[in-house]
Structure 1
Amino acid sequence: MAGPKTTLWELEPHTRAKHDLLRRYLGGWFPVLSAYNGRIVFLDGFAGPGAYENGEPGSPLIALDALLTHAYFPRMSCEFLFFFCEADPKRFESLKELIEVYKAENYPWPSNVKVEAVNSPFEQTATDLLSHLSTQKKRLAPTFAFVDPFGFSGLPMNLLADLLSFSRCELFVNYMVDFVNRFAGAGNVDHHLTELFGTDEYKHAASLRGKERQQFLHDLYQRQLSEVCGLTYVQSFAMINRTGHIGYYLFHGTRDVKGVELMKDAMWKVDPGGGFTFSDRLAGQDVLFTEVDIDVTPLRAALLREFAGRTVNISRLEEFTLVNTPYRKTHLRKPVLSPLEREGLIQVGRPGRSGFPEGTRVTFSSY
């Protein structure tokens, strides 16, 4: 872990996995958003020095590379604006230098890709950006805000709400629940925690212990992102380390179910490595994100419970799978619906002779 005076530090396995996830998500997000917008923005709130101890790229270069190396980039005609915020002067100088090196390596630099690195905290940069837009009476272009702090200060909920008030903005935030869990109720950093949550309800954690305490703090943050920031879909993914404990949560918030689909696809494709594993919860059960020996039993049970005695369109089942479970759309048809049909637990009305194409209607047996 980098200390306050450290310029470069070792790339840890969980950070490598997080960066792999970021790259994969942007690989889907860039072409989808660029097809319908004249400008899109990537905002890195805690950009760091741009690289790690052994030369591995940091999130700013990963984001740039995800765009420039994309197979569809030559066909993306919109303007891409990258904002990189780094408060530490030495890290900022390192970041600027590495950006210039990357630009030189990719000469000639595409005219529709703009990069702005700012030597200021995320909170100040975001506030200045919103103030400028207000003065100009403009709206923020579709934005993906990647917010990856070392702790929990400098990340006020009301600022996130202002930033995310623009309809096509998404958030991917590292919620350091271990730090929060340690200090909630201690009383010495209450002002930071009140800003983080946008409420002082976190103080109720003082009477809780163990997993119940951690789950309460998770649920409170998720609720605030949904209600205060107005995000329709807020998903969390636990980073479980090799000891089986949760190191932190990754929260993704969006108003578009397509964003949920892209994030699920990215999550299931990432190889965490180093003993770290992604997980989510369904009916009190851990569902691990690995494409090897996928257990779809929780998805099967959830579908049977939710739609018992009902007839629904296949698109409704896809939406339920994406929004209400940790699974992908690809886990629905062959892994779950086909066995249910063979067992007589569902009746299928399909427009074709086989499969579950668009327009398919599925009737679930009653319990």
Structure 2
Amino acid sequence: MNDASPAKWAIDPHTRAKHQILDSYLKGWFPKLTSFQDKVIYLDGFAGRGRYTDGTEGSPLIALRALVGHQHLKRMDHCKFIFWFIEANKENEAALRRELEAFVEEHNTGSGPDIGVDLTHNTFEKTGRELAKQLDEKGGKIAPTFAFIDPFGYTGLPMDLIKSLFGNSQSEVLVNFMVGFVQRFIEREGQEAAIESLFGLPVDQVMAGKLSDAKRVEHLRDVYMAQLKEVGGFEYVRSFAMTNHTGNVSYYLVHGTHHREGVKLMKAAMWKADPGGGSVFQDRLHGVEVLFDPAPDTEPLRAEFLSVFAGRSAVPIDEIEWHTILETPYRETHVRPILTALEKSGVITVRRNATRGFPSGRAWVDFPNASE
């Protein structure tokens, strides 16, 4: 997060949680992508100062450390990594430059993969527009990129720019969708251009179909996610709500990717994060809140299985797991305990080419009809 005022750079539990997610995700993303790529980019569009007032590292250093400290770093020697940080505030940029220079000097061992570190003093929008123009003139596209877009507010991250840079490619985005600011100002005079830029839609179209003020936050999230799919070009888009101690949504982390493995990685990172301070990450399944808790209530997922797969025979375990990952808030790790309980109670029948359990490719499930 990058409030321009250095005096306000005290880290809060929400930001720590975002950084936990970023660190966990990149540790999985780097080796997966480099297994079939020779150049990847990490882009931080609102990079900030690099370090908080209590000494905690910011997202740029977390991203770098996720690579240089990776247990499989040697396996990624063939790949060139580019870390590109963009920061508009002059004081923040100067502070970040010092942090990056110190980090590079400390880790300049002369061995390992080729790692480039670039810092641009400008806005994400202006920098992105210039890059998009250069790519268009050359008829090229950006190398596979993970873009962390974490603004303070809702300006400077246009939907059309996200599309031109990251849509229809190997790239991914993790956007902090500051829905609290959006819902507060969306109908205020003078905000029309900013809202249209954010969503890629005029305000009246963004608000079309809003049922009530109570549903406004979820409605805005749904429209933003739909735009990331339809305009941004991302095949898979999921959001995760950060709720505060009052139960209100502070923001949504919205992840857009072209690969279902990316969804799986992000789910794992989200379920591991601990916001603290009375806050939680959550999602919904058919209107039921699902808290990302170490011991979650999996009853909504059980009901989902019995509904979605009702009457089907020989459903592969892999299909059940991918449905869980792509269509529900839950992880694949939640699947087998539910199926075990359903089998023990006689609700489902399991066909196995194995002695026990639910091994991938060797177990198939018969589900009862919905009325049974």
- TM-score, normalising length from structure 1? 0.95
Tell me whether 1:95 sits opposite 2:96 in the alignment: yes
Aligned counterpart, 1:62: 62
Q: Deviations over 1:310-356 (max 9, x none)?
A: 122111101100011111111101x2000111112111111111111
Q: Deviations over 1:24-79 (max 9, x none)?
A: 00010001001110101111000001111111111000000000101001221211
Aligned counterpart, 2:348: 346
| Alpha-carbon shift at residue 141 of structure 1 (Å) | 1.3
CA distance in 2, matches of 1:7, 1:131: 36
| Alpha-carbon shift at residue 8 of structure 1 (Å) | 5.7
Aligned counterpart, 1:79: 80
Aligned counterpart, 1:242: 245
Query: Among the aligned pairs, what percent are the same residue?
Result: 45
| Alpha-carbon shift at residue 161 of structure 1 (Å) | 0.9
Aligned residue among 328, 331, 335 for 2:334: 331
Aligned counterpart, 1:134: 136
Q: 1:225 to 1:348 in 2, by over 3 A?
A: same
CA distance in 2, matches of 1:271, 1:3: 23
Tell me whether 1:255 sits opposite 2:258 in the alignment: yes
Aligned counterpart, 1:288: 291
| Alpha-carbon shift at residue 3 of structure 1 (Å) | 5.1
Aligned residue among 213, 218, 227 for 2:216: 213
1:1-367 to structure 2, matched below 5 A, reads: 4-6=4-6, 9-77=9-77, 78-108=79-109, 110=112, 112-200=114-202, 201-204=205-208, 209-291=212-294, 293-311=295-313, 312-333=315-336, 335-359=337-361, 360-367=363-370
| Alpha-carbon shift at residue 142 of structure 1 (Å) | 1.0
Contact 1:123 1:154 in 2 (8 A): yes
State the secondary structure of the residue aligned to 1:135.
helix
CA distance in 2, matches of 1:74, 1:230: 34
Of stretches 317-326 and 338-347 in structure 1, the one that deviates more from structure 2 is 338-347
Contact 2:3 2:152 in 1 (8 A): no
CA distance in 1, matches of 2:3, 2:344: 57
Tell me the amino acid that sits aligned with residue 105 of structure 2. A
| Alpha-carbon shift at residue 362 of structure 1 (Å) | 1.0
State the secondary structure of the residue aligned to 1:332.
helix
| Alpha-carbon shift at residue 208 of structure 1 (Å) | 5.2
Contact 2:74 2:113 in 1 (8 A): no
| Alpha-carbon shift at residue 210 of structure 1 (Å) | 3.2
Q: Deviations over 1:81-127 (max 9, x none)?
A: 11100011111111111001111221325551111100010011112
CA distance in 1, matches of 2:215, 2:113: 52
Contact 2:80 2:114 in 1 (8 A): yes
Root mean square deviation of aligned Cα: 1.6
Contact 1:184 1:202 in 2 (8 A): no
Tell me the amino acid that sits aligned with residue 87 of structure 1. A
CA distance in 1, matches of 2:86, 2:17: 22
CA distance in 2, matches of 1:362, 1:254: 30
CA distance in 2, matches of 1:253, 1:330: 22
CA distance in 2, matches of 1:63, 1:252: 17
CA distance in 1, matches of 2:193, 2:95: 32
State the secondary structure of the residue aligned to 2:140.
coil
CA distance in 1, matches of 2:84, 2:7: 20
Contact 2:168 2:258 in 1 (8 A): no
Contact 2:76 2:113 in 1 (8 A): no
Q: Deviations over 1:269-328 (max 9, x none)?
A: 11222222100110101111121x221111110011000001221111011000111111
Contact 2:3 2:48 in 1 (8 A): no
Tell me the amino acid that sits aligned with residue 88 of structure 1. N
CA distance in 1, matches of 2:39, 2:158: 26
Query: Structure 2: which 5+ runs fail to align?
Result: none
CA distance in 1, matches of 2:90, 2:19: 23
State the secondary structure of the residue aligned to 2:53.
coil
State the secondary structure of the residue aligned to 1:345.
coil
- TM-score, normalising length from structure 2? 0.94
CA distance in 2, matches of 1:234, 1:211: 23
CA distance in 2, matches of 1:272, 1:153: 25
